């Protein structure tokens, strides 16, 4: 594991790695150290418990957790820590990920999990950064720059579309 991670990422299976890699990429873009591992709420509950309970001691400020199917991982993580948990539901073979979304977002009272959309790894990473930016001015500034760049890129695309029309725009 990385030394002094600020975000801990735990997924139910390595088959979820592509989705969680999107969160890792965002954290790297913002210079946020993280660790990443696999732990199943059902197949390795002790590992999940140990990872969650030890997160604060490792320096973690936010956890990103999720799985596909019976996606109870984020809730189990939240049950074992007082840190904020971002739930990342993964699209499984059944129900197009709706089962994952509903089981991640519907936590019982007292066990909150902030949940992003199905396979929305990028948003999970960004939400973790936003949570930490509440007390980190450097991250706050990086987020402002990120959002300004998104706005400019979108504006540029709109201007180009208006200039050349949709047919030429689609062909590029």
For the annotated binding site for substrate, the residues are 13, 16, 43
Measured at the alpha carbon of residue 10, what is the angle toward residues 90 and 111, in degrees to the nearest 5? 80
CA–CA gap between residue 92 and residue 90 (Å, rounded):
6
DSSP state of 135: S
Calpha distance 83→8 (Å, rounded): 10
Q: In the chain, what's the furthest Cα-to-Cα distance?
A: 59
Q: Cβ distance 53 to 81 under 8 Å?
A: yes
Binding-site residue numbers are: 13, 16, 43
Coil/strand/helix, residue 34 = strand
**Measured distance between the N- and C-terminal CA atoms of the chain, rounded to whole angstroms:** 43
């Amino acid at each position: 594991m990385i030394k002094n991670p600020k975000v801990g990422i735990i997924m139910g299976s390595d088959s979820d790695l592509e989705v969680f890699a999107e969160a890792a990429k965002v954290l790297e873009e913002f210079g946020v150290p993280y660790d990443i591992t696999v732990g199943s709420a059902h197949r390795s509950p002790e590992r999940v418990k140990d990872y969650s309970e030890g997160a604060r001691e490792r320096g973690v400020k936010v956890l990103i957790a999720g799985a596909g199917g019976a996606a109870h991982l984020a809730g189990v993580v939240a049950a074992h820590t007082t840190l904020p948990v971002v739930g990342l539901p993964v699209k499984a073979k059944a129900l197009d990920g709706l089962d994952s979304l509903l089981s991640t977002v519907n936590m019982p009272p007292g066990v909150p999990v902030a949940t992003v959309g199905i396979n929305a790894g990028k948003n999970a990473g960004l939400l973790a950064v936003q949570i930490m930016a509440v007390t980190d001015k450097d991250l706050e500034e990086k987020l402002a720059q990120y959002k300004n760049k998104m706005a400019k890129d979108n504006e540029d695309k709109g201007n180009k579309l208006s200039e050349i029309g949709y047919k030429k725009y689609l062909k590029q």
